[in-house]
Amino acid sequence: MFRYSKNRNLLGLFCLLVALFTSCNTSNFKNNDVNKDIVETLLLTKNEIFQTSSKTTQKLESIGSIKFNSLKQPFETDVAIFVNTSKQFQEFIGIGAALTDASAETFFKLSEDQQRRFMEAYFSLDKGIGYSLARTIIHSCDFSSESYTYVEEGDEKLETFSIAHDKKYRIPFTKKAIEAAGGKLLMYASPWSPPAFMKTNNSMLQGGKLKSQFYQPWANYYVKFIKAYETEGIPIWGLSIQNEPMAVQRWESCIYTAEEERDFLKNYLGPTLEKEGLGDKKIIVWDHNRDLLFDRASVILKDPEASKYVWGTGFHWYEDWKDGTPMFKNVAAVNESFPDKKLIFTEGCNEAYDINRIGDPKLAERYAKAMINDFNNGTVAWTDWNILLNETGGPNHVGNLCFAPVHGNTQTGELTFTNSFYYIGHFSKFIRPGAKRISTGSTSNNLSATSFKNINGSIVIVVLNENDAEIDYRLTIDNQTSNVKISGRSIQTIILN
d(CA 218, CA 268): 9
The catalytically annotated residue of 48, 244, 319, 466 is 244
Residue type, 380: V
φ and ψ of 363, to 5 deg: -65, -45
Instruction: List own/partner pairs for 107-116 with CB under 8 A and 24 or more apart.
Output: 107/169, 107/173, 107/388, 107/408, 108/169, 108/172, 108/173, 109/390, 109/408, 109/410, 110/408, 110/410, 110/413, 110/415, 111/413, 114/408, 114/413, 114/414, 114/415, 115/176
Catalytic entry in 252, 347, 365, 466 = 347
Question: What string of H, E and C letters represents the secondary structure of 307-357?
Answer: HCCEEEEEEECHHHHCCCCCCHHHHHHHHHHCCCCEEEEEECCCECCCHHH
Residue type, position 316, single letter: H
The beta-strand segments (E) located in 393-489 are 406-408, 415-417, 436-442, 447-453, 459-465, 471-477, 480-486
Q: Is 244 a catalytic residue?
A: yes
Q: How far, in Å, are 119, 209, 210, 399 from residue 194 at the CA level?
A: 31, 9, 7, 21
Q: Which residues are catalytic?
A: 244, 347
